[in-house]
A and B are shown apart, each in its own frame.
Chain A
Amino acid sequence: MCDVATVQKIANCLGVSPGKIQLNEEQVVTRTGAQNKTVAGFATILESMARESKSETAQNSIVTQEVQAQVYQWIEFAVLYVAPGSKDKYVSKQLLADFNKLFISKSYLVGHFITLADLAVYYAIGDLIKSLSPVDKENYLNLSRWFDHLQQRPEIHQGETMLNFTTIYLHNWATGTHI
């Protein structure tokens, strides 16, 4: 998930030219940009794009050293835990619980503004969220709120179908009880 397609999406979000995105012989994602300069590694690529971009998200992500460090650690977390862990039943449950707890008191992962950290985790966790039932989505209410909030931005959903977070369960009252 933290792969070529995600890098391209994030490049779109930031409004930078993605350059040539591919996997090298170690299966690590690389970006070859202007002047044939190559950068390897998902997090390092995102940092390089942040420096090029004028977008609000990119500017937010490098506002102070502290913010930069936190943004980096969440991008790394997305690569190391969220993306591979989503495929594991046990790990994904723990991830959902952890993020849900985290978003009790936060609207964004770092500071009070959207950063690359949110983007990286958003794209890494997307498939897992998509697989949740309506009841589960409500169980992870804070996480759902964060995700739903991000997906409303056109530069983030990029034309893909939006997930439904409606909490009214039509199927519960509308079936079986033809009263």
Chain B
Amino acid sequence: MIIYTNEGNPLGLQLLVLAKFAKKTAQVQLVNLNDAKHKDLLVLPTLELDNGLRLFSGAAIAKYLLGDEGQRRDEWLEWSTTLLAPALEHHMAVGHRADPNALPVLNGLVKKLNDCLSTSPFLAGDKLSAADLSIWCLLAPDGTLKGAQNVDQLRNWYDKIKAMPEVQQGLKELPIKDLTFNALQQSNRYGGLQHVQLKRSSSVDAGKLLAEAASTVADTVSDEEINAARAAFIYTKAEELSQPRTVLPKPGQRNVLITSALPYVNNVPHLGNIIGCVLSADIFARYSRAAGYNTLLICGTDEYGTATENKALAENMTPREICDKYFELHNSIYRWFGIGFDYFGRTTTQEQTDIVQEAFKDVYNAGYILTESVEQLLCQKCDRFLADRFVEGTCPHPGCGYEDARGDQCDKCGKLVNATELVRPRCKVCNTAPVLRSSDQLFLDLPKSEPQLREWVDRAEHGWTNNARVITRAWLREGLKPRCITRDLKWGIPVPHKNFEKKVFYVWFDAPFGYVSITKRYTKEYLQWWQPAAGTDVELFQFMAKDNVPFHSVVWPSVLLAINKGNTLVSHIMATEYLNYEDGKFSKSRGIGVFGNDAQETGIPADVWRFYLASARPEGQDSSFSWNDLAARNNSELLNNLGNFVNRALVFCEKNFDSTVPQIVLNQDDLVLLALINRELRGYISSLEKARLRDGIRHLLAVSRHGNGYMQTQQPWVLLKGSNDQKARAATIIGLCTNIACLLANLLFPYMPTTARTMFAQLKTKQTPLDANKPLATMLLPTGHKIGKPSPLFTKLEQSFIDELKGKYGGSQAAAAQEQSSSADLEAAVQAQANKVRELKASTKDKSVWQPEVDKLLDLKNQLKKAAPAPAAAAAAPAPTGQSVEALEQAVQAQGEKVRQLKSTTKDKAVWQPEVNKLLDLKKQLEAAKGAPAPATPTAATDVAAVKALEDKITQQGEKVRNLKATGDASVWKPEVETLLNLKKELATLTGAPVAATQTKNKKKK
């Protein structure tokens, strides 16, 4: 039998002991659920029987292996898995997961055990059963019973079972000290048993049985950790970090080549672009250098293609001038953000042309290029082929005939259009009619390289982020199709092939080679990185946003595999999701969001931006930039946590020890602190090794949080005033804290290089290498080391300042843009929103779902009213209610009618007198109203009641239509829809112009 379990899982011991009692041999295999080959395992531990059957329930396994031992045992088994195990896991949880309820619940459960054992020697009676073994294995780890009171029977039972040979054998394989209920979090994909709500027993409080302190983190520190922390904390002069002028890979060492997706030259990058690739790559590169790997970080601007050509046309410059202008812009933004590229180049270089052309020849010679004829529209006046967006014409779809359909989509019927199918096409630039030309284009034969690519992906994808794997798998699942790699443009790399001299390469064929050509600009020995010699391993890390994944995981690798010259292929695709701006999208045209150059203008230091962006990095899922969050993180994490700790430590050292690191004599408290810090350090290293930058920050901040907590409990300021012994103790505390501050500076360096340098200056020391193989805190500043002058590292971001920025980059600009937007745009928006509302209402009856959308619609309609030109506005002015002359006249008339009718039907005055009184009242009101100036817009004098009635009718009719539609027969519901539309029209005329406008649009749509 095989027991699959994860490291530290106490339930693994349970299965092992059960197996030993059943006289079966079981082999323990430690596995990781994230491992692809164990994706079929649901819950750990899982026991695989010799016949291949897999069982993951301890109770089921006990019953299966040991047979029937009575109902009492079965009840205890179920009790232990459903009540005791979750309580133990909750009990061990710390931080935000900590559950104050866990200890009282656990006390209750332990009391029940003790009570049972005081009446019988074993849980299920006189004989030992699987229940005893299972429950013993749950109580043994984490020292749960350590310090417990009033549980003598339980203790006797505990010792009796512990002494059994089978248990002892089990413990040899899985020692108690390695087991902890924290490991359950990794035992399934549901995060352990955290979701199980603990139920408090309704009977009387069990009182205090278990020691309370067991729940603090410090008690989870094992002796091994303490010893390791003590052994590591010694001073050895660290070698200085130095980097050769030109970094080249070396055999036998770790060589890390890092690229950041090349930003397209004609946009100003926004914060999402910056964290998506360049900043992430830079943080990782800084870490990688600090860890002593040979690291090269390459990036540059991607400059060829239609977009640049168009931008050049728009700004009346040549493409080259546009590129020069925007290259500088990019370069300066990245420099401001402190991005330390080894080389920031561009794709419009001779090196790029040479490399791309040679690569093409290689691919061609290897037989991976196809020629196919493609029909395209050519504008003879402009002398160029028209991209989809640059041709307009009449929509070819029957019944539409919209005259301004674009080459890719018709705005009216919404259907996709093929540019060549447009009726009477015209060039958007010069308005002349283009001609249809078929031209030959070159295609990359992706289907041919698919088998090799699949094989490579299977091997390589373990190092990729999940989204990169998913996107690539999706592409492969659909099967690859040949991809056109040439374009009829001028701004690009000429195709070195007969009859194709006038064409250029499609930007996605040439751009990835930019990484290579930019490396070539950096060093002539670039091939050492890109075609390393045998024996030299180069790991290629590519950072990008998820939209770039297919080109890095499918298209480019296919090209390189086709070339087959031993090119470095990507081992780690680090793809981020999208960063939103305050829950919306960044939009340059609407001025929403913070762009690279804006960040500089805010006056917030680049390092704070770097820190915030890294901690909000969209790893795993989309995340949002939020000003409040930025301020909160700066104020609570940088200022109050990290900055506070460092500054306190240094100021104490300066004021009380003459700026000299005092003698450090570690006691148990100090070692516990170091052990806890070592845990975080290990987390930091393992996160950054996988470029999980967000997690890295979490561990870094935890280090300074431990430091703050330590200082708070030790209170060196009190000790400094005490006896000599106490003063010596204070010296150790300050010396230790100063050292931790130095460690923090090193950990912070990848994220905030400028701040880290300031810290090094205040500590009068230099950056030291991080040892990824031995992540333990060492003494960085020896006794006697002189530190510099401390000063605060961070400043507070005031809410008023943040509000100001929020207004500047979101609210007001957005509002301004909306004001400017024509009423036509608004009409379109109203229409779209109305459609959305209709759809929502049809799909669900849940008002809470569609109400927000309805509100949005009303809001838009209001805006439209405001934006509409004056006459319409007048017509749409809110109708004076009740008091208007017309309304009153109508009311009088109606009431008169009513009175007449009443009088004719009955002679009972008591019946009609009240109505007559009402009539008289109304007449009086009418006279008064006539005396007042008449409302300016008599046409819009809407009778509220009438509108309400109509609205009700519409709702009813709408409901009817929906129900009918659900039955499906068009001939049945069509007439009802007509009725509904008529009603809506009526309502529109009643309520004024704007709604009518929507209505006419609706009609057009039919």
Residues from chain B with a CB closer than 8 A to the CB of A88 are: 190, 195
Which of B56, B61, B86, B839 interacts with A176 by CB under 8 Å? B839
A98 to B189, CA, bound (A): 9
B977 within 8 Å of A by Cβ? Answer: yes
Contact between B191 and A76, CB atoms less than 8 A apart? no
A27-B199, A80-B81, A85-B195 given as contacts; is B75 within 8 A of A39 (CB)? yes
Residues from chain A with a CB closer than 8 A to the CB of B977 are: 178
Contact with A along B190-218 (1 / 0, CB 8 A): 11010111011111000000000000000
B85 to A, closest residue via Cβ: A80
Residues from chain A with a CB closer than 8 A to the CB of B201 are: 25-27
Contact between B196 and A80, CB atoms less than 8 A apart? yes
A175 within 8 Å of B by Cβ? Answer: yes
Contact with A along B786-810 (1 / 0, CB 8 A): 0000000000000000000000000
Contact with B along A82-120 (1 / 0, CB 8 A): 001101101100110010000000000000000000000
What class of interface size applies to chain B in its complex with A? 35 or more
Which of A41, A94, A171 interacts with B78 by CB under 8 Å? A41
A70 to B78, CA, bound (A): 15
A170 within 8 Å of B by Cβ? Answer: yes
Residues from chain B with a CB closer than 8 A to the CB of A84 are: 195-197
Contact between B193 and A80, CB atoms less than 8 A apart? yes
A97 to B, closest residue via Cβ: B189
B843 within 8 Å of A by Cβ? Answer: yes
A28 within 8 Å of B by Cβ? Answer: yes
A81 within 8 Å of B by Cβ? Answer: yes
A122 within 8 Å of B by Cβ? Answer: no
Which of A48, A66, A76 interacts with B57 by CB under 8 Å? A76
A43 to B76, CA, bound (A): 11
Contact between A43 and B190, CB atoms less than 8 A apart? no
A141 within 8 Å of B by Cβ? Answer: no
Contact between B190 and A85, CB atoms less than 8 A apart? yes
Contact between B839 and A69, CB atoms less than 8 A apart? no
A14 within 8 Å of B by Cβ? Answer: no
Question: Could you tell me the dominant secondary structure of chain A's interface residues?
Answer: helix
Which of B51, B842, B1006 interacts with A174 by CB under 8 Å? B842
What class of interface size applies to chain A in its complex with B? 35 or more
Contact between A171 and B202, CB atoms less than 8 A apart? no
Residues from chain B with a CB closer than 8 A to the CB of A53 are: none
B766 within 8 Å of A by Cβ? Answer: no
Contact between A43 and B842, CB atoms less than 8 A apart? no
A175 to B92, CA, bound (A): 53
A151 to B199, CA, bound (A): 31
Residues from chain B with a CB closer than 8 A to the CB of A40 are: 75, 78-79
Contact between A44 and B53, CB atoms less than 8 A apart? no
Contact between B195 and A91, CB atoms less than 8 A apart? yes
- Within B90-110, the residues touching A (CB, 8 Å) are 108
Which of A39, A48, A79, A91 interacts with B82 by CB under 8 Å? A79
Contact between A178 and B1006, CB atoms less than 8 A apart? yes
A42 within 8 Å of B by Cβ? Answer: yes
B445 within 8 Å of A by Cβ? Answer: no
A27-B199, A43-B78 given as contacts; is B190 within 8 A of A66 (CB)? no
A158 within 8 Å of B by Cβ? Answer: no
Residues from chain A with a CB closer than 8 A to the CB of B981 are: 178
A63 within 8 Å of B by Cβ? Answer: no
Contact between B71 and A175, CB atoms less than 8 A apart? no
Contact between B57 and A170, CB atoms less than 8 A apart? no
A76 to B842, CA, bound (A): 40
B560 within 8 Å of A by Cβ? Answer: no
Contact between B60 and A72, CB atoms less than 8 A apart? yes
Contact between A41 and B75, CB atoms less than 8 A apart? yes
Which of B60, B64, B202, B962 interacts with A76 by CB under 8 Å? B60
Min CB distance, A174 to chain B, in Å?
4
Which of A27, A47, A85, A175 interacts with B74 by CB under 8 Å? A47
A72 to B64, CA, bound (A): 10
A72 to B1006, CA, bound (A): 60
Residues from chain A with a CB closer than 8 A to the CB of B53 are: 66, 69-70
Min CB distance, B622 to chain A, in Å?
16
Which of B57, B63, B842 interacts with A77 by CB under 8 Å? B57
Residues from chain B with a CB closer than 8 A to the CB of A91 are: 190-191, 195
Contact with B along A45-88 (1 / 0, CB 8 A): 00110000000000000000110111011001101110011011
Residues from chain B with a CB closer than 8 A to the CB of A79 are: 82
Interface centre among B75, B1002, B1005 (most CB of A within 10 A): B75
A179 within 8 Å of B by Cβ? Answer: yes
B439 within 8 Å of A by Cβ? Answer: no
Contact between A94 and B189, CB atoms less than 8 A apart? yes
A65 to B977, CA, bound (A): 63
Residues from chain A with a CB closer than 8 A to the CB of B838 are: 175-176
Contact between A171 and B82, CB atoms less than 8 A apart? no
Residues from chain B with a CB closer than 8 A to the CB of A98 are: 42, 189
Residues from chain A with a CB closer than 8 A to the CB of B199 are: 26-27
Residues from chain B with a CB closer than 8 A to the CB of A28 are: 79, 82-83
A65-B64, A175-B838, A178-B977 given as contacts; is B78 within 8 A of A44 (CB)? yes
Min CB distance, A81 to chain B, in Å?
6
Contact between B839 and A175, CB atoms less than 8 A apart? yes
A72 to B81, CA, bound (A): 12
Contact between B74 and A70, CB atoms less than 8 A apart? no
- Within A134-179, the residues touching B (CB, 8 Å) are 170-172, 174-176, 178-179
Contact between B75 and A44, CB atoms less than 8 A apart? yes
Min CB distance, B632 to chain A, in Å?
23
Residues from chain A with a CB closer than 8 A to the CB of B661 are: none
Which of A27, A65, A170 interacts with B965 by CB under 8 Å? A170
Residues from chain B with a CB closer than 8 A to the CB of A87 are: 195
Contact between B190 and A76, CB atoms less than 8 A apart? no
B314 within 8 Å of A by Cβ? Answer: no
Residues from chain A with a CB closer than 8 A to the CB of B42 are: 98
B966 within 8 Å of A by Cβ? Answer: yes
Residues from chain B with a CB closer than 8 A to the CB of A69 are: 53, 55, 57, 60-61, 63-64
Residues from chain A with a CB closer than 8 A to the CB of B197 are: 84
B59 within 8 Å of A by Cβ? Answer: yes
Residues from chain A with a CB closer than 8 A to the CB of B78 are: 40-44, 76
Residues from chain B with a CB closer than 8 A to the CB of A179 are: 1006
Contact between A72 and B59, CB atoms less than 8 A apart? yes
Contact between B82 and A76, CB atoms less than 8 A apart? yes
B968 within 8 Å of A by Cβ? Answer: yes
A170 to B966, CA, bound (A): 6
B636 within 8 Å of A by Cβ? Answer: no
A77-B57, A98-B189 given as contacts; is B202 within 8 A of A25 (CB)? yes
A25 to B962, CA, bound (A): 51
Min CB distance, B964 to chain A, in Å?
9
B202 to A, closest residue via Cβ: A25
Contact between A44 and B195, CB atoms less than 8 A apart? no
Residues from chain A with a CB closer than 8 A to the CB of B59 are: 43, 72-73, 76
Min CB distance, A125 to chain B, in Å?
14
Contact between B191 and A170, CB atoms less than 8 A apart? no
Residues from chain A with a CB closer than 8 A to the CB of B81 are: 76, 80
Contact with B along A1-28 (1 / 0, CB 8 A): 0000000000000000000000001111
A–B complex contacts, Cβ < 8 Å, 8 sampled: A28-B83, A66-B51, A66-B64, A73-B55, A170-B842, A170-B965, A170-B966, A170-B968
Q: A26-B202, A41-B79, A69-B57 are in contact. List 11 more A-B contacts (CB 8 A).
A: A25-B201, A39-B71, A40-B79, A42-B78, A66-B51, A72-B63, A73-B57, A76-B82, A77-B56, A85-B190, A94-B189
The 9 A-B pairs with the shortest beta carbon distances in the complex, nearest first, are A73-B57, A41-B78, A27-B199, A171-B843, A174-B965, A73-B60, A69-B64, A72-B60, A175-B842
**A interface residue numbers (CB < 8 A to B):** 25-28, 39-44, 47-48, 65-66, 68-70, 72-73, 76-77, 79-81, 84-85, 87-88, 90-91, 94-95, 98, 170-172, 174-176, 178-179
**B interface residue numbers (CB < 8 A to A):** 42-43, 51, 53, 55-57, 59-61, 63-64, 71, 74-75, 78-79, 81-83, 86, 108, 112, 188-191, 193, 195-197, 199-203, 835, 838-839, 842-843, 962, 965-966, 968, 977, 981, 1002, 1005-1006
